[in-house]
Amino acid sequence: MILTATPLYAGLLALLFVALSARVIVQRRRAHVSVGDGNDQSLRQKMRVHANFAEYTPIGLVLLGLTELQGAPYWVVHLLGLMLLTGRLAHAAGMGASPQRLSFRVTGMVLTLAMITLAGLANVFHALI
């Protein structure tokens, strides 16, 4: 089976990862910090937004791809992909704002964790039947 939906979400999430990376790079240059955060609060915040994205997105994409490979309906794969993409966008927007927008951050984590939970359960269930 060829993956058709997962590459779309992987590509969009990769572009978001690059954008978050660029924010860190720009702030590093502004703060003249090469390694670490130099005790710069803005740099620390941007680094955590980027790191949080890097912590949650890979498992979501792996589960999305496995769900698609196991033959889940197309709409299910897209629903899970949209949950992951929207969740990561909302979380980055909420956590990256100054001051933080807690409602965006919470919505992002709920969507992300719901996607990971649903896809994880679906993969376990499918593997056992």
Q: Which tens digits make up the pLDDT trace of 26-56?
A: 999 999 988 988 898 999 999 999 999 999 9
Q: What is the pTM of this model?
A: 0.94
Contacts of residue 119, defined as CB under 8 A and 6 or more positions apart, other chains included, come to: 60, 63, 64, 66, 67, 80
Q: Residue 67 corresponds to which tokens in the numbers above?
A: 């769900």
pLDDT tens per residue across span 62-120: 999 999 999 999 999 999 999 999 999 999 999 999 999 999 999 999 999 999 999 99
Contacts of residue 123, defined as CB under 8 A and 6 or more positions apart, other chains included, come to: 63, 66, 67, 70
Question: Residue with structure tokens 């992909």?
Answer: 81
Domains and CATH numbers, the chain: 6-128 (1.20.120.550)
